[in-house]
Amino acid sequence: MKFDGKELFGKGEHSLEVRSWRREGVDYGFAGLDGVLSVDLGRRERKLKQRGWLTAESVGALMRLMEEISGYIDGQSYELVDGGGICYGQVRMDSFTLLGSVTAGNQARCEYEIHYTQLS
């Protein structure tokens, strides 16, 4: 997986859950007429959730990687490319969460979850 053209997530286990686009509309009712007039206001955003394991050669390197990823929670939109090469444009990183503790052995690793919003 690549985010902003960078291989931030290495070769570990990663999954991306892509939800459907949200649509918005408004219904108008008129006195004396049965039913409503429904106006489609178009497609809005959709949510994406990424989950997996971050790995690095040391705990210090893993901490620096987590800081770099957290730096993308800046309100800007970027390009996300999944493991299959599918590109998602105009993606904003909303949250980055560790799911447990950092473990170290031959390499340091931790489980994570990221929530994105694809704007268009």
- The low-confidence residues of the chain, meaning pLDDT below 50, are none
Domain boundaries, the chain: 2-118
CATH number of 2-118: 2.40.30.200
| pLDDT value of position 107 | 87
Q: What is the DSSP secondary structure assignment for residue 1, as one 8-state letter?
A: -
CA atoms within a 13 Å half-sphere pointing along the CA-CB vector of 77: 9
The pTM of the whole model exceeds 0.95 = no
C-alpha–C-alpha distance, residues 114 and 74, integer Å: 14
- For residue 56, the SS3 value is strand
C-alpha–C-alpha distance, residues 77 and 12, integer Å: 24
